Chain A
Amino acid sequence: MSHVVLDDLTKRYAGGALAVDKLNIDIADGEFVCFVGPSGCGKTTALRMIAGLEDITSGEVRIGDRVVNDLAPRDRDIAMVFQSYALYPHMTVYNNMAFGLQLRKTPKEQIDKAVKEAARILDLDRFLERRPGQLSGGQRQRVALGRAIVREPAAFLMDEPLSNLDAKLRVQTRAEIARIHQRLTATMIYVTHDQVEAMTMGDRIAVLNEGVLQQIGTPKDLYESPTNRFVAGFIGSPSMNFMDLTFEHNGAVPRLAGEGAEVVLDDKQTAMLRDKGIETIALGVRPEHLTVGGPDGPGLKLTADVDVIEFLGNEELIHAQSAGRDIVAIVDTEAELKVGEKVVLTAAPRRLHLFDPSTGLSLARG
């Protein structure tokens, strides 16, 4: 009943710049969808168009069964949490939360009940009579959440709500938001540039770049089957390693080679590359899928010089140089690598991502 549909949603600014280009996303009732992408990718603009804070150039936004393009923000039955909190500084915490309901002429007892309930959920009971200026950053963000909760809107819109919090508080509040989502089973659209946030919170993630939707899917989908090089590089931390390899299929064993790396292909991959007449490949492999040494056989094998080692506790982050390219690998501390050492890194065939180097599109998973 409160699903949100974006239909060819487009925003072109007066200067001609295209901020969002034909965005099509169907968000189910109660779903938690994250819009993620680098700054300037159009994710916030898209959110603001859903909220009604930004004019829609073309396309449609539907909330529930209504087209809301021409509705004022207040008539869209949405609540928004801003990156900057945007609390009313002259009002108490109580009134900050009650304001929306007061404007809607909700009966006083009902407002009181809703505000107190939200304050209880967010552990703000003790601060109801304070002003935002007397609160810490985390408390302010909780008030901003409370202001959204009391309204019981059809959809929650959140614009990077955690980016002003320090790391520890961010993890706490992340869990808080996830809890609220479970409790209210409300539709949530969450904008972030932090892919870790998106991966941990979203039922589905929409990756945007330069105003264009790159891929939408579950965190697992995006991680395992990125549709293009951008998504592959954006999702996952540290990001995927890429190398440009040449397809050599005239020898006895068809293989990809170059930049100190070699991939032995299986028959299926060979056939696919032959069919498409592809000569060069952008190969992607995630740092966590590289292992030191490993058995011979199909898959990737590359030699590199260890450059920097970052100790992470249970594992190590290795930066290594291979044919002038920085390769990052997360390896077991038992490998006991040293800076300056030559290392052979391998990856299983199913961990390899093949991309067309000109279009960046995924060819198939290796």
Chain B
Amino acid sequence: MSAAALGRPASARPWHRFTALLGRRRPVINILLALVAIFWLVPSIGLLIISLRPESAFTQSGWWTVLTAPSRLTLQNYSTLFSQGLKPGGLLDSLITSAVITVPTTILVTTLSSLAAYSLVFGRWRGRDAVFLVIVGLMVVPVQMALIPVASLYKGISSATGFNPFGTVFGVIIFHVAFGLPFGIFLMRNFYSGIPRDLLEAGRIDGAGEWKLFRRVVLPLGVPAAASLAIFQFIWVWNDLLVALIFLGNSAHVPLTIFLFSQVRELASQYWVISTGGIISIIVPLIVFFSFQRYFVSGMLAGSVK
């Protein structure tokens, strides 16, 4: 989803041709779409059913057999996992750890990106474009390349201040924020570029300073872009295994991805835990997605300028 698609009308003509085509072949297209949807949904449904069957059933029969015997579904796996409570390394504990990492990261990236983009678009300082180009360049830096430098940077911070971010949730958050910002700034800047300058000037004359302009004019107009950025960011960080494994692998509190990963064993993988935890880890981003969906309002700028 590009920023352009959110704020400005897509070029109308090809789209009309497409919908006209859809109109004529609607039944065929609907069937095709349904097939694609089923194809994508089957594994998720399978995972859901596995999580709803007793542990022993997994080795005895395939999950699809449930379709003929639905009575054997149970919430036992969920209650077992949740009944462990806040035991370190347990499901609930890692769910909370994931949230503690993901929520602040998402808020920080969205806020900082919006602020930076405001300055890059509406600020009056030299070299804004050069700075933006550097930021765009940073988008292509692979995470893997930065793991060792950041680890040694944390070590340096540790010897200088006595606080070692390595192995802490804080260290992971900082890492994710740093890697989320280039894309975030890129997305927000492109969106803000579409806000007419006249609006800001009208605000300045009306009596707004930079902060008020940001808070009352630019930020509300940037909500669609900010919402999509927040969703992207949330899902990326929520699903991250690599960074968490390296920076938090030996910690007592680990995020959900590491929790699931640790259930995979060569001989006796805990499939009931993996399926149940997997479903829980899917549900959270879904909730986030659907609750942010209403902010995808297109045509926010309608009526502001001719």
Contact = CB atoms under 8 A, between A and B. Distances in A.
B306 A89 contact: no
Nearest to A82: B198
B302 interface: yes
B262 to A, nearest CB: 47
B201 A86 contact: yes
Nearest to A95: B216
B205 A51 contact: yes
B206 A90 contact: no
A89 B300 contact: yes
A89 B204 contact: no
Contact of B205 (A73, A85, A134, A164): A73
Contact of A134 (B196, B220, B303): B303
Nearest to A103: B207
A278 interface: no
B220 A90 contact: yes
Nearest to A55: B124
Contacts of B221: 89-90
Nearest to B216: A99
B304 A87 contact: yes
Contacts of B217: 88
Contacts of A99: 203, 206, 216
A100 B207 contact: yes
B212 A103 contact: yes
Interface in A83-111: 83-90, 99-100, 103-104
A74 B209 contact: yes
Interface string A98-134: 0110011000000000000000000000000001111
B201 A88 contact: no
A135 interface: yes
Contacts of B303: 87, 89, 131-135, 140
Contact of A86 (B196, B216, B220, B300): B196
Interface centre among B199, B203, B303 (most CB of A within 10 A): B303
A137 B303 CA distance: 9
A79 interface: yes
Nearest to A72: B204
8 contacts: A79-B205, A85-B198, A86-B201, A87-B304, A99-B206, A100-B207, A103-B208, A133-B303
B277 to A, nearest CB: 41
Contacts of A51: 201, 205
Given A103-B212, A140-B306, 19 more contacts: A52-B205, A53-B201, A82-B305, A84-B305, A85-B304, A86-B201, A87-B304, A87-B305, A88-B203, A88-B217, A89-B303, A90-B300, A103-B206, A103-B207, A104-B207, A132-B302, A133-B304, A134-B303, A135-B303
A147 interface: yes
A145 B220 CA distance: 23
Contacts of B299: 133
Contacts of A147: 202, 206
Contact of A82 (B201, B207, B300): B201
A243 interface: no
B130 to A, nearest CB: 16
B248 to A, nearest CB: 40
A78 interface: yes
B227 to A, nearest CB: 14
Interface in A297-352: none
B100 interface: no
Interface string B289-306: 000000000011111111
Q: Sort chain B's interface into a size bin.
A: 20 to 34
A80 B198 CA distance: 11
Nearest to A98: B206
A194 to B, nearest CB: 16
A88 B199 contact: yes
A132 B302 CA distance: 7
A82 B304 contact: no
Interface string B188-230: 0000000010110111111111001000110011000000000
Contacts of A85: 198, 304-306
A132 B304 contact: yes
B220 to A, nearest CB: 5
A117 to B, nearest CB: 18
Contact of B202 (A82, A131, A133, A164): A82
A90 to B, nearest CB: 5
A89 B302 contact: yes
Interface in A127-172: 131-135, 137, 140, 147, 151, 164
B101 to A, nearest CB: 32
Contacts of B220: 90
Nearest to B208: A103
B306 A137 contact: yes
A295 to B, nearest CB: 52
Contacts of B205: 51-53, 73-74, 78-80, 100
A74 B201 contact: no
A133 B303 CA distance: 4
A78 B202 CA distance: 11
A127 to B, nearest CB: 12
Contacts of A100: 205-207
Nearest to B197: A86
B202 A74 contact: no
4 shortest interchain CB distances as A-B pairs? A133-B303, A132-B303, A133-B302, A86-B198
Nearest to A148: B205
A89 B301 contact: yes
Nearest to A53: B201
A267 to B, nearest CB: 57
A82 B212 CA distance: 20
B91 to A, nearest CB: 42
A72 B207 CA distance: 9
A103 B206 CA distance: 8
Interface string A62-86: 0000000000111000111011111
A269 to B, nearest CB: 50
B204 A73 contact: yes
A140 to B, nearest CB: 7
A89 B202 contact: no
Contact of B208 (A74, A78, A79, A133): A74
